[in-house]
């Protein structure tokens, strides 16, 4: 199944919020001697005035312009990295492209800067949403994932306390893991996507995963990733998609529920009991160890039940017989085959799939007709053409032409034959002594004869 877009949820937690936590205000504290406290940075009065004027601006656009002017005037500033962080934060309020440009410039000065790596990851990830070309989209997602990997590997700067770095890192981790997971899922690497979406959700307090926003979207997309695994993990798909739907507001709840119910029905066979799963999913982020969904009966189980509850197996419909022959245990399939093997039967309205004078492949069961897939092969009985009189040969030729016309591909025809053998997967029943039953022509009604009235 095709991904459900619930992108508006992301707007609930905007980048302004991310910027307020991930990228702290890093102003340089300049004392009366015009140098940053405890840093040994010296500034001339002119540079100090330009710097102080820029960082004290309150409007983001005005602040960005002032910081750009400061950097242009003092390209070798001792506080260049801190200034670029301020510039990056100011641009993040109104211009993603310039935010990335500032982040690029900051990483040239400080390649390990966790704040810049967070902005690179976030804006490249969100920017990929609007890209329609598949190759370009994947390239953008891979680039975001590349910055995310660098962010996860970033080490603490000497001038930052361990507490501050850990706080900043914990705020950035969901963004990093989300980018890696999204890039992986877009290229069908569901296993990597599952691992990283789970890491994203585990990196935050559980309560945060219940609020509308990126983390609730991550919960839903984790369900999608489980569905896209080979083979699909329907149980985990059900759990995470249900949890996301349980906490999502409308209209997103209605967009998320179909995947949750689909995975539940694929595993359970019906939707009974689903409401209990929806309720349970609200109690914990991950399914508890004892969480189970009763699986649907296997095809072999269904066959065994039909065998046990059907007194006369010969009365089963053709589609039911085919299901048993294809899915039953050998002993169960043999019980059904023994009721028809060697017996002749007539089949009206067989849909011709492949046609030749010696072999006809036709669709007879309802499923086969609907899918236009042959489920019966008729090996046609050879006509006896020995020692025919000219009149008999002419009649035989006329019959052969009629049979050829009646068995054209796409036609429906009545056939007779004897059950000879079958193969279970895909199901194909082979009939011997096949013959076409041509429709009998309706005799013309006699024309009424007009008799004149007798003369008197």
CATH number of the structural domain spanning residue 190: 1.25.40.10
What per-residue confidence (pLDDT) applies to 40? Answer: 58
What's the burial of 4, exposed, middle or buried (CB within 10 Å: 0-12/13-18/19+)? middle
pLDDT value at position 239?
Answer: 98
Omega cis (within 30) before 251: yes
- In percent, how much of the chain has pLDDT > 90? 79
pLDDT of residue 298: 86
Residues 397 and 433 in one domain: yes
Examine the domain organization and report whether 321 and 175 are in the same domain.
no
Residue 268 within any structural domain of the chain: yes
Tell whether 253 is covered by a domain.
yes
Looking at residue 397, its pLDDT comes to 87
Q: What residues contact residue 257 under an 8 Å CB cut-off, 6+ apart?
A: 241, 242, 245
Q: How far is CA 421 from CA 133, 160, 428, in A?
A: 51, 79, 9
257 and 314 fall within a common domain: no
Domain interval for residue 330: 299-383+392-437
- Asked if the model's pLDDT at residue 456 lies above 80, the reply is no
62 lies in some domain: no
Q: Is residue 118 assigned to a domain?
A: yes
For residue 447, is it within any domain? no
Tell me if residue 446 falls in helix, strand or coil.
Answer: coil
Distance, in Å, from the CA atom of 240 to the CA atom of 257, rounded to the nearest integer, reads 11
Last residue of a domain, one of 245, 280, 315: 280
Q: Are residues 108 and 234 in the same domain?
A: yes
Judge if 163 and 203 occupy the same domain: yes
Are 410 and 268 members of one domain?
no
CB 404 within 8 A of CB 398: no
Dihedral-angle region of residue 15 (phi above 0 means left; psi in -120 to 50 means alpha; beta otherwise): alpha
pLDDT, one tens digit per residue, over 135-148 is 999 999 999 999 99
Could you report the per-residue pLDDT of 111-127, keeping only the tens digit for each? 999 999 999 999 999 99
Domain boundary pick from 225, 246, 280: 280
Q: Are residues 258 and 314 in the same domain?
A: no
Give residue 5's pLDDT: 36
pLDDT tens column, 226-239: 999 999 999 999 99
Beta-carbon contacts of residue 238 (< 8 Å; ≥ 6 apart): 223, 260, 263, 264, 267, 277, 293
User: Does some domain include residue 1?
Assistant: no
74 inside domain: no
**Residue position matching structure tokens 């060697």:** 342
Q: What integer is the mean pLDDT of 247-255?
A: 96
Residue-wise pLDDT for 321-365, tens only, equals 999 999 999 999 999 999 999 999 999 999 999 999 999 999 999
Tell whether 323 and 271 lie within a shared domain: no
Q: Is residue 39 a part of any domain in this protein? A: no
Q: Give the mean pLDDT of the chain.
A: 88
Residues 95 and 233 in one domain: yes
Say yes or no: 267 and 311 in one domain: no
Counting DSSP H helices and E strands in the chain, the numbers are: 19, 5
Both 422 and 351 in one domain: the answer is yes
Q: Tokens standing for 245? A: 């739907």
Instruction: For residue range 360-402, list pLDDT tens digits in order.
Output: 999 999 889 988 999 999 999 988 777 788 888 888 888 899 9
- The domain that contains 337 carries what CATH number? 2.40.50.110
Q: How far apart are CA 314 and CA 317, in angstroms?
A: 8
CA distance 204 to 211: 12
Q: Are 210 and 12 in contact (CB under 8 A)?
A: no
Q: Same domain for 265 and 321?
A: no
Percent of the chain with pLDDT over 70: 88
Report the number of distinct structural domains present in the chain: 2
């Amino acid at each position: 199944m095709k991904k459900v877009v619930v992108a508006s949820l992301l707007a609930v937690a905007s980048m302004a919020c991310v910027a307020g936590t991930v990228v702290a205000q890093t102003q340089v504290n300049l004392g009366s001697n015009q140098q940053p406290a405890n840093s040994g940075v010296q500034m001339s009065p002119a540079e100090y005035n330009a710097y102080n004027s820029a960082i004290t601006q309150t409007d983001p656009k005005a602040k960005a312009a002032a910081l750009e002017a400061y950097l242009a005037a003092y390209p070798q500033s001792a506080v260049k990295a801190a200034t670029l962080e301020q510039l990056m934060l100011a641009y993040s309020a109104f211009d993603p492209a310039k935010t990335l440009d500032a982040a690029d410039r900051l990483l040239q000065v400080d390649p390990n800067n966790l704040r810049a790596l967070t902005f690179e990851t976030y804006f490249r990830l969100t920017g990929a949403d609007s890209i329609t070309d598949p190759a370009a989209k994947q390239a953008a997602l891979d680039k975001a994932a590349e910055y995310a990997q660098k962010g996860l590997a970033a080490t603490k700067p000497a001038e930052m306390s361990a507490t501050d770095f850990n706080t900043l890192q914990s705020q950035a981790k969901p963004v990093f893991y989300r980018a890696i997971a999204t890039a992986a899922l877009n290229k069908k690497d569901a296993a990597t996507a599952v691992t990283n979406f789970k890491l994203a959700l585990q990196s935050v307090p559980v309560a945060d995963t219940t609020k509308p926003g990126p983390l609730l979207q991550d919960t839903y997309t984790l369900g999608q990733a489980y569905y896209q695994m080979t083979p699909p993990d329907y149980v985990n798909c059900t759990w995470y998609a249900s949890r996301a739907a349980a906490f999502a507001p409308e209209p997103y709840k209605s967009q998320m529920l179909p995947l949750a119910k689909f995975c539940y029905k694929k595993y359970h066979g019906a939707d009974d009991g689903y409401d209990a799963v929806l309720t349970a999913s609200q109690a914990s982020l991950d399914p508890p160890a004892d969480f189970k969904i009763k699986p649907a009966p296997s095809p072999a189980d269904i066959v065994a039940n039909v065998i046990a509850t059907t007194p006369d197996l010969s009365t089963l419909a053709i589609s039911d017989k085919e299901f048993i022959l294809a899915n039953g245990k050998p002993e169960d399939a043999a019980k059904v085959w023994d009721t028809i093997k060697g017996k002749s039967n007539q089949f009206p309205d067989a849909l011709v799939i492949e046609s030749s004078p010696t072999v006809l492949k036709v669709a007879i069961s309802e499923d086969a007709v609907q899918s236009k897939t042959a489920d019966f092969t008729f090996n046609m009985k050879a006509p006896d053409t020995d020692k025919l009189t000219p009149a008999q040969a002419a009649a035989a030729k006329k019959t052969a032409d009629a049979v050829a016309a009646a068995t054209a591909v796409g036609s429906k025809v009545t056939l007779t034959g004897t059950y000879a053998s079958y193969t279970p997967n895909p199901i194909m029943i082979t009939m011997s002594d096949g013959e076409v039953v041509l429709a009998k022509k309706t005799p013309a009604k006699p024309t009424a004869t007009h008799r004149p009235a007798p003369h008197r």
